[in-house]
Amino acid sequence: MPKRFDPRQNMNRSTFEIFHYLDPSTRHMEAHYHDFYEVFFFIDGDVDYWIDGSLYRLAPGDILLIHPTELHKPVPAAKIERYERIVLWINKSYLSEIENGILENCFDKEKPTYNKVLRLAEDKKEQLFALAHSLCEEYHSSEFAAETGAYSLLLQILVQINRHNNTETPVDSKKFSTPTLISEILSYINDHYAEKLTLDSIANHFFVSKYHLSHEFKDAVNTSLYRYIIMKRLNEAYTLLSEGHSANDVCTMCGFGNYSVFFRAFKAEFGISPVECSKQ
């Protein structure tokens, strides 16, 4: 049975979690990211999905594969009454330990066949969504060996997703469904996050009023320009630290001019220091 939407964006378990939601209460959710994989099974509703500056017009049965480094948020229609989905979260370390990480392949953005959105034939779609429903029921069950049953279903889902990800035609994003100016600004920030960026400098670059820019950006992305820049920098910093770069180098590489500012922002966002992240 669908549950009431839980707004938390952190995992309580070290393996995986799954939720079945049926409500439109994510209308005001700001763009966010997390340090785990997300598989989003879209069941029904009038919803777009915004991922790193690109907007995807969803059709019932679409499956989104969201990488830990990607800022994202749902964009429900103004008068939406029904928004049904199943959301599967998978701990990155946990997935990398299953069969030597082979099932992480579908999240590899460098892979030539990588698909952000899977739009499958009816029979394949029905099979995968049936597995997702079964996994949700088993995960929340108190029956004998429910955890083992859930693990088995998780493996089946990931195997099928990886197979389809290598064969299906990619679903194009609609980059300009977001207002053209905002799309250009998002691309500019993604390319120049390591440089000194301010509301004034970006407004001057695009020859617009900073007040107009601030309002339009907040309206389109549901977060402030400043917050978006900080999230982008922290997101990149987390990735670089995880790859073994030193905290001091990452501070500079990600556009933080002051290490104490970087330290405080990183600790507030992730609950650990940059050095602790690098060691992990």
Task: Choose the weakest-confidence range: 20-29, 66-75, 160-169.
Answer: 20-29
Last residue of a domain, one of 165, 195, 228: 165
In the predicted structure, residue 194 carries a pLDDT above the cut 90: yes
Q: Which of residues 115, 135, 165 is at a domain's end?
A: 165
Tell me: do 108 and 204 sit in the same domain.
no
- State the pLDDT at residue 160: 95
* pLDDT band with cut points at 50, 70 and 90 for residue 175: very low
Q: Is the domain of 31 the same as that of 125?
A: yes
pLDDT higher for 173 or 90? 90
The distance of Cα 94 from the centroid of its chain, to the nearest Å, equals 18
Spatial separation of the C-alpha atoms in residues 39 and 234, rounded to whole Å: 22
* Average pLDDT in the chain: 87
- pLDDT tens, position by position, 58-103: 899 999 999 887 888 888 877 777 899 999 999 988 999 998 999 9
- Domain identity same for 83 and 53: yes
pLDDT at position 179: 58
Contact 193, 240 (CB under 8 A): no
Tell me the one-letter amino acid at 142: S
Q: What is the mean pLDDT of residues 254-262?
A: 92
Query: What are the pLDDT digits (tens) for 217-255?
Result: 887 777 889 988 998 899 889 888 888 899 999 999 999
Poorest-confidence range of 20-34, 156-170, 257-271? 20-34
Single pTM value for the model: 0.77
CA distance 261 to 259: 5
Whether the per-residue pLDDT at 167 is higher than 80: the answer is no
* Res 107: pLDDT: 92
Does residue 197 sit in the same domain as residue 123?
no
Tell me whether residue 126 is in a domain. Answer: yes
Residue ranges making up the domain that contains 45? 16-165
